[in-house]
Amino acid sequence: MDIPSRTNCNGSKYPCFLFYIKGELSLQHYFHPSKTSAINMFIPIFFILSFLFSSTNAADFCVGDLNGPVGPAGYSCKKTVTVNDFVYSGLAATGNTSNLIKAAVTPAFSAQFPGVNGLGISIARLDLAVGGVIPMHTHPGASEVLVVIQGTICAGFISSANKVYFKSRNKGDIMVFPQGLLHFQINAGKTQSLAFVSFSSPDPGLQILDFALFANDLPTDIIEETTFLDAAQIKKLKGVLGGTG
């Protein structure tokens, strides 16, 4: 952009600025000492600043440096990047469902797949054996989309107004779970189920309701008072999930 010094425009006796972009006149503004307001006098300055800021290029990506610190915004950027930072094969294998919930979640979050760091996306694989369940849980940092690849999955969520939305999904079906709401997935069929879930964050976070209540040292009497469960049932669940107190 070429900005010449103040000059007379079209024979006017008043000074003006001429702005040229690629050799063509883009903006002409007269400064009349008695008629031009202070606001109008800042138009050329605003134009210049807008042009400069609009010409600034943001970084295309920020592959996470897993050896560096991690904060609320994610990992710091890795200095040397190769194509291998943008590919991941960790979701190819079937997850181990030999556990209490008969299910496995294999994540490709920024900690496993640094290429998604800073991009606002991530993905995970969900394997559910017959009778498998992903208990009621929430992702504080992301909305989620589930797509069923194999089998039948009953999935649902509870709104902040305590309205329940659930439905069985088959191969090729999808369902969305809004950010922060409690939701679940259950294998509703007679065969192994497989799904992939994508998130609107490279690190969506996770809190499982049952584990939050019964897998720690939160005292039984407090849980009893806040959930209306009896002490015997609470202690039984703590025993199953490894909690104390």
Any domain includes 61: no
Any domain includes 59: no
Do 133 and 94 share a domain, yes or no? yes
Is the torsion defined by CA of 147, 209, 232, 238 positive or negative?
A: positive
pLDDT at 42: 53
Strand order of the β-sheet with 182-187 is 164-169, 153-158, 182-187, 133-138, 207-208
Q: What is the DSSP-derived secondary structure letter of residue 169? A: E
Do 151 and 95 share a domain, yes or no? yes
3-state helix, strand, coil in the chain (%, to 5): 20, 35, 50
pLDDT at 59: 84
How many structural domains are present in the chain?
Answer: 3
Do 221 and 136 share a domain, yes or no? no
Any domain includes 191: yes
Q: How does pLDDT run across 38-63, given as a tens digit for each residue?
A: 555 555 554 454 544 444 346 899 99
pLDDT at 157: 98
Any domain includes 64: no
Do 196 and 228 share a domain, yes or no? no
Any domain includes 34: yes
Do 80 and 115 share a domain, yes or no? yes
CA-based nearest residue to 150, from 126, 124, 131: 126
Q: Encoding tokens for residue 217?
A: 């040292």
Do 214 and 163 share a domain, yes or no? no
CA-based nearest residue to 195, from 174, 177, 166, 179: 174
Q: Encoding tokens for residue 240?
A: 């199953």
pLDDT at 11: 54
Any domain includes 230: yes
Do 11 and 78 share a domain, yes or no? no
pLDDT digits (tens), the chain, 245 positions: 444 444 455 555 544 433 333 444 344 443 344 444 555 555 555 445 454 444 434 689 999 999 998 888 899 999 999 999 999 999 999 999 999 999 999 999 999 999 999 999 999 999 999 999 999 999 999 999 999 999 999 999 999 999 999 999 999 999 999 999 999 999 999 999 999 999 999 999 999 999 999 999 999 999 999 999 999 999 999 999 999 98
Any domain includes 190: yes
pLDDT at 19: 37
Do 189 and 226 share a domain, yes or no? no
How many CA atoms lie within 13 Å of 7's alpha carbon, on the beta-carbon side? 9
pLDDT at 141: 96
| Residues 209, 137 contacting (CB under 8 angstroms) | yes
CA-based nearest residue to 90, from 172, 196, 18: 196
Do 177 and 221 share a domain, yes or no? no
Q: Which residue has the tokens 């890795």?
A: 78
Any domain includes 229: yes
Do 78 and 131 share a domain, yes or no? yes
> How does strand 133-138 pair with strand 122-128?
unpaired
State the CB neighbour count (10 A cutoff) for residue 132. Answer: 21
Q: Encoding tokens for residue 165?
A: 């939305």
Whole-number mean pLDDT of the chain? 84
Do 189 and 89 share a domain, yes or no? yes
Residue ranges making up the domain that contains 20: 7-54
Do 198 and 88 share a domain, yes or no? yes
Q: How does pLDDT run across 106-134, given as a tens digit for each residue?
A: 999 999 999 999 999 999 999 999 999 99
